[in-house]
Amino acid sequence: MKFSPDDSILAVGAHDSMVFTYDVANKFAPKHKMRGNSSTITHIDFSLNGEYIMTNSLSYEILFYSTQTGK
């Protein structure tokens, strides 16, 4: 789990290789369900401006997602 630099988004990496984002100001309402990793998420990091999420997985993949679109 990791918060965006401005603490407005919480990103959660799941064992089922999904990344879920939540809107902190709106009582942690779900925002996006991000697919693409082929194995368990091991690390999540945000860009400095909070617009992108980078994930690492057990299969050594590095994927990037937009926090605005979830793609």
- The 3-state DSSP class for residue 24 equals helix
CA 48, CA 16: separation in Å to the nearest integer?
A: 27
What are residue 44's DSSP bridge partners?
55
Q: What's the pLDDT tens digit per position in 53-66?
A: 999 999 999 999 99
In whole angstroms, what is the distance from residue 31 CA to residue 20 CA? Answer: 7
Give the Cα separation of 71 and 69 in Å (integer): 5
**What pLDDT, on a 0 to 100 scale, did the predictor assign at position 63?**
96
Mean pLDDT of 23-50: 96
The structure's pTM equals 0.91
68: burial class by Cβ within 10 Å (0-12, 13-18, 19+)?
Answer: exposed
pLDDT at 27: 96
pLDDT for 66 equals 97
- Residue 43: its pLDDT value, please? 96
Every domain of the chain and the residues it spans = 2-66
